[in-house]
Amino acid sequence: MPIPRAIYPGSFDPITYGHIDIVRRAKKIFSRLVIAIVANPNKEPLFSIAERVRITEEALAEVGICGIEVISYDGLLIDCAKAIGAAAVVRGLRAGSDFDYEFQLALTNRDLDSDIETVLLMTAGRYSFLSSSIVKEVKRYGGDVSSFVPKSVEEALTRKFAG
Ligand code: ADP
């Protein structure tokens, strides 16, 4: 049986160790994993789409993960998934509060294309309360985010809040 390709979509504003934990888990299952960063997320992003792609690539290189393509997309996730030949959409689950939204998203995507399955991967316990929003909040007020994001991401945040 062929091992499918998968797409891991999100805002990645910016990528955290929580996202990276999901990438490591997904890499064990899928032959090819593409991170697809949504250009225009619901919330106004801190970083531009070009910055988020670059920061994600740098973070993956820094933690020694290779072979992951990082792309940006606009419009429907399912159209992007089809365009790259993905058989599965990977999403991460933290605390139970993620579940309702992820379930709704998965069922909507299944309605749009029943051939593409959503795979929800459980994060490591220590990242279960970590989000990009928390990292931005802590860093904005000068807190230490070194246990939440790789150094290259921390530096990008420092530059962003300095400018
Ligand atoms: P979105 O705006 O699409 O939710 P995010 O970048 O916030 O984009 O999240 C992308 C995916 O990564 C989501 O499935 C989210 O649940 C997951 N994710 C984010 N942070 C973590 C974490 N700490 N542990 C596991 N999964 C996470």
pLDDT at 97: 78
pLDDT at 163: 73
Mutate to test the pocket of ligand 1, among 42, 89, 94 (most ligand atoms within 8 A of CB): 94
pLDDT grade, residue 2 (50/70/90)? low
pLDDT, tens digit, 9 for 90 and up, residues 43-88: 899 999 999 999 999 999 999 999 999 999 999 999 999 999 999 9
Mutate to test the pocket of ligand 1, among 23, 123, 128, 149 (most ligand atoms within 8 A of CB): 123
CA proximity to 154, closest of 35, 84, 62: 62
pLDDT at 138: 97
At position 104, the amino acid (one-letter code) is: Q
φ and ψ at residue 18, rounded to 5 degrees: -65, -45
Res. 3: pLDDT tops 70: no
Output the average pLDDT for the chain. Answer: 95
pLDDT at 42: 86
Listed in sequence order, the residues at least 6 apart from 135 whose beta carbon sits closer than 8 Å to its beta carbon are: 14, 16, 145, 148, 149, 157
Residues labelled catalytic:
19, 43, 94, 132
pLDDT at 112: 97
Q: Model pTM greater than 0.85? A: yes
Res. 38: pLDDT tops 80: yes
Instruction: For residue 146, give both structure tokens.
Output: 């070194």
Q: Whose CA is nearest to atom 17 of ligand 1?
A: 92
